[in-house]
Amino acid sequence: MKSEGDEKIARKYSVMGRVQGVGFRVFVQRAAESIGVRGWARNCADGSVEVYAAGSPEQLSELEGYLWKGPRMSDVRHVNVTEAALERHIDFQIR
């Protein structure tokens, strides 16, 4: 029997600001792994970083907090969040 905490959902995040060339994707990967979120992060041509994440609503809320914070040299200006289809991933990768 599944409890509410077992529910998995997925979201895509578009993180804008100074987020490329500052270790942002590695920062996100470490944060995601520490809270048990699976998915990926990649740089986009427009200078943003796109993140796909799957986990419980609580885990994704925690990850979003990390996305707003970013690593020391970053300057996050906006995080756009959209619901996404649940994909199967075994870990969190940098693309």
1: in domain: no
Bridge partners, residue 80, by sequence: 14
Task: Label residue 7 by pLDDT band (50, 70, 90).
Answer: confident
Which candidate in 11, 18, 30, 43 is catalytic? 43
pTM, whole model, 2 decimals?
0.92
CB 94 within 8 A of CB 25: yes
What are 41-94's pLDDT values in tens digits?
999 999 999 999 999 999 999 999 999 999 999 999 999 999 999 999 999 999
The CATH number covering residue 69 comes to 3.30.70.100
Between helix 24-35 and helix 57-69 the angle, nearest 10°, is: 150
Burial group, residue 45, by CB count within 10 angstroms (0-12, 13-18, 19+): exposed
Q: Is 80 a catalytic residue?
A: no
Q: Is 25 a catalytic residue?
A: yes
Q: Give the structural domain span for 26.
A: 8-94
Which candidate in 18, 25, 30, 77 is catalytic? 25
71: in domain: yes
How far is Cα 94 from Cα 21, in angstroms, rounded to an integer?
Answer: 14
2: in domain: no
How far is Cα 1 from Cα 63, in angstroms, rounded to an integer?
Answer: 26
